[in-house]
């Protein structure tokens, strides 16, 4: 096949800040969650941060993008379906993908007045991340933007869970799922956020109805998707499902449930700085290892290790050499 992984996700330029919990309370954000916002809502927050002299780190992000960048640096051939405007942020974004070796669809030709999407990420002293996303032109990623040939020539089609928040985005997701015309392309889904799962459960159920092969999530998202009261009940629920699910638990490691079997992998012992991008790193690392015929336990162990390296840094990605060092861990396993 032409690609190892094709993904559908939001193209967002991330700006990350270190703040305390009082700041989140003052701007009305729920800790460790993702909230959609407008450009007008972002402006006073950014102004306040500048007045406070809060340092920031800016880079091209988006959940699926982070996963693809990791997999691509490991050596997977990746293709990203996303939308950016022909503006400074859009050019920066596509340049970042090109540098990482990720193929893409280029600039959007329509809705040209809309900007490239942005995400404000607030990291608190407990290393948790809280996000406020302005989707911009990304909200209008639809069926017309899909390279169906690329998807049908990919070993894995990966869906970012945030795609359910926009009708146009969701239409793109279902259009691809309807048009995958082979039984060799695996369909993978990230649940992205527990609040999103709860608020858009019908859409997630519809995605599942197309025959999902892999799901990536954290423990809160796993509970929300299963509709149970706790993780233990959720695990029993997933043991009865046909898909494989990887559930990350932060410092507790991860659980992978495949064909009724529960496989636990311990976390690395680290001092966490920033959990932003940890789940993205886990998914990208797992898919790469899986496509290279490592067993489930090896995939999970490698993904835990890769995630720990992101958590030890400020920001959702590693340097090129950082990815290379992580890959050496897989080669030695």
Label the pairing between strands 102-104 and 3-8: unpaired
Residue scoring higher pLDDT (58 or 6): 6
pLDDT at site 198: 96
- Region 52-70: mean pLDDT is 92
User: Is the per-residue pLDDT at 107 higher than 80?
Assistant: no
Give 112's pLDDT tier (boundaries 50, 70, 90). Answer: low
User: Is the per-residue pLDDT at 181 higher than 90?
Assistant: no
Residue scoring higher pLDDT (112 or 81): 81
Give 289's pLDDT tier (boundaries 50, 70, 90). Answer: very high
CA distance 126 to 260: 34
| Assessment of whether the complete model's pTM goes beyond 0.85 | yes
pLDDT at site 2: 93
Residues in Cβ contact with 289 at an 8 Å cutoff, skipping those fewer than 6 apart: 298, 299, 302, 303, 330
User: Is the per-residue pLDDT at 122 higher than 90?
Assistant: yes
Cα 9 to Cα 51, 138, 167, 320, distances in angstroms: 33, 8, 14, 22
Share of the chain above pLDDT 70, in %: 98
pLDDT at site 109: 63
pLDDT at site 60: 86
The number of beta carbons lying within 10 Å of the beta carbon of residue 170 is: 17
- Going along the chain from its start, the domains and CATH numbers come out as 3-12+62-116+136-332 (3.40.1190.20)
CA distance 325 to 275: 20
DSSP H or E run through 93: helix 88-100
pLDDT in tens, 198-242: 999 999 999 999 999 999 999 999 999 999 999 999 999 999 999
């Amino acid at each position: 096949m032409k690609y190892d992984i094709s993904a559908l996700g939001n193209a967002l330029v991330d700006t990350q800040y270190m703040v305390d919990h009082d700041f989140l309370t003052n701007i009305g954000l729920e800790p460790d969650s993702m909230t959609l916002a407008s450009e007008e809502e972002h402006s006073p927050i950014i102004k306040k941060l500048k007045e406070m002299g809060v340092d920031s780190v800016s880079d091209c992000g988006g959940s699926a993008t982070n996963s693809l960048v990791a997999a691509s640096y490991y050596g997977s051939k990746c293709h990203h379906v996303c939308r950016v405007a022909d503006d400074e942020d859009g050019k920066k974004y596509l340049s970042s993908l090109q540098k990482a070796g990720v193929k893409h669809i280029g600039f959007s030709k329509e809705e040209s007045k809309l900007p490239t999407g942005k995400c404000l990420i607030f990291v608190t002293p407990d290393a948790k991340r809280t996000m406020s996303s302005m989707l911009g032109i990304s909200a209008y990623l639809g069926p017309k933007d899909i390279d169906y040939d690329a998807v049908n020539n990919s070993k894995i089609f990966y869906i970012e869970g945030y795609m359910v928040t926009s009708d146009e985005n969701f239409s793109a997701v279902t259009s691809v799922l309807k048009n995958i015309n082979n039984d060799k392309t695996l369909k993978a889904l990230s649940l992205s956020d527990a609040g999103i799962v709860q608020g858009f459960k019908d859409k997630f159920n519809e995605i599942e109805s197309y025959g999902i092969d892999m799901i990536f999530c954290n423990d809160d998202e796993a509970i929300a998707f299963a509709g149970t009261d706790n993780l233990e009940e959720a695990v029993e629920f997933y043991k009865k499902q046909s898909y494989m699910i990887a559930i990350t638990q932060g410092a507790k490691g991860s659980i992978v449930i495949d064909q009724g079997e529960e496989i636990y992998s311990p976390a690395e012992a680290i001092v966490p700085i920033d959990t932003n991008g940890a789940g993205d790193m886990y998914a990208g690392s797992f898919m790469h290892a899986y496509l290279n015929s490592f067993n489930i336990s090896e995939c999970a162990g490698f993904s835990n290790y890769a995630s720990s390296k992101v958590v030890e840094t400020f920001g959702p990605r590693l340097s090129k050499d950082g990815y290379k060092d992580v890959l050496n861990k897989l080669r030695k396993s």
